[in-house]
Structure 1
Amino acid sequence: MYRERLVATDAQTDSARKLQGLLLDYHDFRQHKAAHPRLADTFLVAEWQAERLRNTHHDLYRHPGYHTGLEFLLTDLYAPASMTRRDDNIDRVFPKMVKWLPDNLLETFAGLVELNLITQQLDLEMAEQLVVRGIVIERMSDADYCAAFCASAQLACRERQILLVADVGRQLDRYVRNRTLGWLLSMTRGPAEMADLSDLHSFLHRGYSAFRQMDEVEALIERLVTREQQVMENILQGHPQPFRLPDHL
């Protein structure tokens, strides 16, 4: 809807141009996905993988210092079925973003957009691989998932996805330690509602609140990355229980 606005915006810094390019790629992919015959299957794949992540990291998910942040990751950052208005609004306000936001914050937004784009691209490819194999996604087993995963042509993107989670998580943690951001989010709630940006504002406020409540974010990120890299290695090596990890991880 707002592609012309993205294209017409004069992005003058490297970070602004990076975000602009990623938003254009994400905009075009969202249009492609919306018309794709496997659209409904991508949501089932996303739900399956979100549940797998909860199970793999069940100890962290139940930890009171991490639960809110991980829930935000799984329901807000990884929720392709319900964020169309939020994504449209990011496109809509992009000209103001590059005008008012500092480069380091534009860089963080770029990481979030790239993470969302890669995740949804991988979900679509996974859905296609499963359909080729005649797998009913609602009854997909771990072995079915791993076979489709190993047939993927996007393994480098899966590695990039894990690293992006770490990078974006560290950047977000730095921002939420700044109390000024919380004050600004509280002060801008009314103007956001008047500008029909309440969904985008709510997303930002939930992310701020979630990360503010988290303990030792760096330690959490290191454990998530180490575990997910081990899961990926297990799958590619044909481990009989790829999602069961050693106790020390």
Structure 2
Amino acid sequence: MAALADLQQHLARFWALPYHQDVALNTKLDEVQAWQRARIQHTHQALFEQPQNQLMADYFLTQLYGGDEFKLLAKQLERIVPKAQKLERFAPAAALETGSMAIQAAILAIELDLHLAEWLLSQDLAVNEDNMFAAYRAVDEADTRRVQIGHLKEVCYRTDKYINSFMLQKAFALAKGTAYRYNYHPLYDFINAGFVAMRPLDSVGGFIEPFCERELEIIDQVHDTDNGGKPLAFGVS
């Protein structure tokens, strides 16, 4: 099936990233991602604190934004995906494709922050607001960051479409026993976590649209060469 073939390619790309073999770069990337998570929480505090949005906010920050949890998931997936053909026969293709897209979005976020970390390391700079602003401009990947935001939005809308389909939900629930029997539960649980996080939302658009709109505004502000100031939403030391 194309979904798991795509997932294998995404994982191969992830493990080829240089920070896995470079302690200093790995440390700098950890610092960049910690700063980014704090920045995202600061920027979207009002949105994230709404009761119906809290599970989705946590899913964004822990599942879709790198860190140790994602590395552990990647290790588990690397082990099971080449042998997961049996799961393909039971789990809906739409669910597997959505999970693959979510992992691709997470890896792209890591790659983009890795480029910031590489620049900061080359300049021997600490991770703080001023230096992150300089790194964003020096690396200059505004268009790719817009693509990243688009991927997040697509994953959310595809997941929303899925959880609103009774037949797909039923088929996915029935696949759980097979997934656990054959130790494919890391993939199953990752996909299911997105569904669980989204269910309390009043509407997916009510969460993802303001999130993406503000992120795109920040990208524009950071890369506006006529504007020498940092975006107000950075607000993280």
TM-score, L = length of structure 2? 0.82
User: Which residue matches 2:39?
Assistant: 52
Cα distance in 2 between the residues matched to 1:181 and 1:19: 18
Please show how residues 20-169 of structure 1 align to structure 2 within 5 Å.
20-21=5-6, 23-32=8-17, 33-37=19-23, 38-82=25-69, 83-89=73-79, 91-93=81-83, 95-96=85-86, 104-136=94-126, 140-169=127-156
1:204 deviates by 2.4
Shift of 1:188: 4.3
Equivalent residue of 1:77, what SS? Answer: coil
Contact 1:54 1:61 in 2 (8 A): yes
Cα-to-partner distance string for 1:31-88 (whole Å, 9 max, x where unaligned)? 4342234123222221211111111000011001211111111111223422233432
Q: Map of 1:208-227 to 2, 5 A cutoff?
A: 208-227=195-214
Q: d(CA) in 2 for partners of 1:101 and 1:187?
A: 8
Instruction: Give the gaps of 5 or more residues in structure 2.
Output: none
TM-score (norm 1): 0.78
CA contact (8 A) 2:10 2:103 kept: no
The residue matched to 1:81 in structure 2 has which SS? helix
Match of 1:207 in 2: 194
Q: 1:243 to 1:26 in 2, by over 3 A?
A: farther
SS at match of 2:180: helix
Mapped partners of 2:187, 2:93: distance in 1: 20
Give the number of aligned pairs: 227
Q: 1:104 to 1:184 in 2, by over 3 A?
A: closer
Instruction: Work out whether 1:244 is the aligned partner of 2:228.
Output: no
Shift of 1:216: 1.6
Q: Which amino acid aligns with 1:197?
A: Y
Identity %: 23
Of structures 1 and 2, the one with the larger relative CO (CA 8 A, separation 6+) is 2
Unaligned runs of 5+ in 1: 1-10
What is the Cα-based RMSD across aligned positions, in Å?
Answer: 2.7
Q: CA deviation at 1:161?
A: 0.3
Change (3 A) 1:93 1:57: farther
Cα-to-partner distance string for 1:3-26 (whole Å, 9 max, x where unaligned): xxxxxxxx5xxxx2x763563243
**Amino acid of the structure 2 residue aligned with 1:65:** Q
